[in-house]
Amino acid sequence: MILCTVYEVLLISSTGNGSAQSIEPLKDKMQVHADQTVTLSCKYSGSSSGDYLHWYRQYPGSRPEFLLRIMVSKNKNILHATPKFERLDAELNEADNKVDLIISSTAVSDSALYYCALGRCFSSASSPFRL
């Protein structure tokens, strides 16, 4: 039996018009067994149609890597990283202001820091934040 630990962190941003946006994890830390499906959830507020909810992963000593983003809209369009991480998916529940990252068939390699972020679309040449 293999255990892996998954973390989420809080990111807060604000829009240019003065209305605050926020996003925060529902849990700070999770422990799961290998070969399970795990759902990481963040609750957000202050978003509007056209905003994106982003997911990133960071391994110790490495830069965050983009996993996927989902648009706050009726279509809930998901844009995956290229190449796509096949075991990752996202769900958006606008009624509860919640976004989920779903990791299937968990493995030790999934042990990392996971970031949820809220904001407008970023071009492929830019980054929503720098660490």
Q: Rounded to an integer, what distance in angstroms lies between the CA atom of residue 122 and that of residue 51?
A: 10
Give pLDDT tens digits for 41-63: 999 888 777 788 999 999 999 99
pTM (2 d.p.): 0.77
All domains in the chain, ordered by first residue: 27-116 (2.60.40.10)
Q: What is the pLDDT of residue 128?
A: 41
pLDDT level of residue 121 (50, 70, 90 thresholds): low
Average pLDDT for the chain: 78
